[in-house]
Amino acid sequence: MEARAALERVGGPAHGGGVTTIAHPDFTAARFGGFPDARFTPAPADGVLPEGFFTTTNLPTYVRVDGRWRMPREPRMDGALVLDAQGELWVREGRRVRAGEQVVVGKAEDGSEGVYVNMAYLMEEGEGEFKFMTSEVSREKPIDYAHMARVLVEERERGGYPIWVTGPALVHSRARADMTWFVENGFVGALLAGNAVAVHDIEASIYGTTLGMSGAGEATSGGHGLHMRAINRVRQAGSIAKAVEAGVITNGIMHACVKHGVPFVLTGSIRDDGPLPDVVTDNLAAQDAMRRHAVKATMAVLVATALHAIATGNMLPAFVTEKDGSLRELPTICVDSSEFVVSKLKDRGTHQAFGVVTNAQDFMHILRLYVERELAARAAAPKPA
């Protein structure tokens, strides 16, 4: 077998449901025979990497240690390869590396310096709904909602961990009920968002408005201050969860997350009002909080948020490692009304992202419709004897 990633299209939840699978390279092939072990150099100080350190991508990466090719844990782009005292191999952000830890040095990605980055599968001519490396982002591109729905349902069936990254436009555009439905029905592993998403969702629960606008999009008297009143109510309660328990928040996205045990990470920005007591306002702590969910992600849905989408994309590998060690591409859907956001995400390295150029309301309404159809079709299908 040639040392390349052979692609295959497979069906059914046990095999990735039509998502591109990625074969491991054949390291017994002759061209890998003379390659050395990777070179390690100790970090000179906490948060400082040695000169010439290897910089990771989000692609499948293998490091030769003691004659064996190994994959690091918690892969992501823009990290370093670190061998800990227990002999475990990790991808670590530079700021998290401690003095004396062994860090891979070298630049070559072809295995000649003990590190092999599997880029071969990107060059394959096979097609797939989530393989768009050579595809331009366009609002004229057809959107295969049926396939996205099937992948989402199969993620739930296999016990996957889909992370949803949302912006406040999702709440303003009347897609709030749809997002709530996805949370309530087990399609959300974790919700990553900013202060505004939770504020306006909670405002809608308490006052029936978002940024003072009614459900019909009309301004209300005194509405400009309602989001501040909503924040104050939550701060009085002590947290979002306590506000739900006290009956202050009675419906919506955050209510569903609390009631169904879906974790959420709310991160702050300089312009935040309040913020809510649950918001992580330290940027590095926020990165770490988001990263704890990114390392578990088996799918990502990014809706109407440029900065959060790109931040999350930078934390995600381009692949999922299954329990049996096999690899598949990590389905990543980026939704925005502007081609710019989707293109920027891909340009920043999240090449596996499938861009959907539409507004949040339409996307959420239609995706929910197709998921409901998929669920109904599966319920009606004959059961195996």
pLDDT the model gives residue 138: 61
Same domain, 107 and 158: no
> 270 lies in a domain?
yes
- Is 180 a residue whose pLDDT tops 70? yes
Mean pLDDT check: name the lowest of 55-69, 201-215, 352-366. Answer: 201-215
| CA 175/CA 220 separation, integer angstroms | 20
Q: Could you read off the pLDDT of 284-325 as tens digits, one per residue?
A: 999 999 999 999 999 999 999 989 999 999 999 999 999 999
Range name among 19-23, 111-115, 260-264, 275-279 with the lowest pLDDT average: 19-23
In a domain, 2, yes or no: no
User: pTM of the entire structure?
Assistant: 0.88
Cα torsion 288, 290, 292, 295: sign: negative
For every residue of 142-208, DSSP letters joined together read ---HHHHHHHHHHHHHTT--EEEEE-THHHHTT-HHHHHHHHHTT--SEEEEEHHHHHHHHHHHHHS
For position 86, which CATH number holds? 2.40.420.10
Please check the confidence at residue 100 and state whether its pLDDT lies above 50.
yes
Please count the structural domains in the chain.
2
d(CA 381, CA 134): 36
301 lies in a domain?
A: yes
> Which DSSP state fits 319?
E
Distance CA 299, CA 295 (A): 11
| Mean per-residue pLDDT, 230-235 | 97
Same domain, yes or no: 234 and 372: yes
d(CA 86, CA 348): 33
β-bridge mates for residue 117, sequence order: 61
Question: In this model, does residue 12 exceed pLDDT 50?
Answer: no
CATH of the domain at 362: 3.40.50.10690
Tokens 């929910």 belong to residue: 368
The better pLDDT of the pair 372, 357 is held by 372
- Summarised one tens digit per residue, pLDDT across range 120-147 is 766 654 444 334 334 455 666 678 899 9
Domain assignment present for 133 = no
Other beta carbons within 10 angstroms of residue 145's beta carbon come to 18
Q: Are residues 150 and 287 in the same domain?
A: yes
Give the best-scoring range by mean pLDDT among 63-77, 170-184, 218-232: 63-77
Query: Do 246 and 149 have their domain in common?
Result: yes
pLDDT at 190: 98
Confidence grade of residue 15 (pLDDT, cut at 50, 70, 90): very low
Q: Identify the domain containing residue 352 by its residue range.
A: 145-380
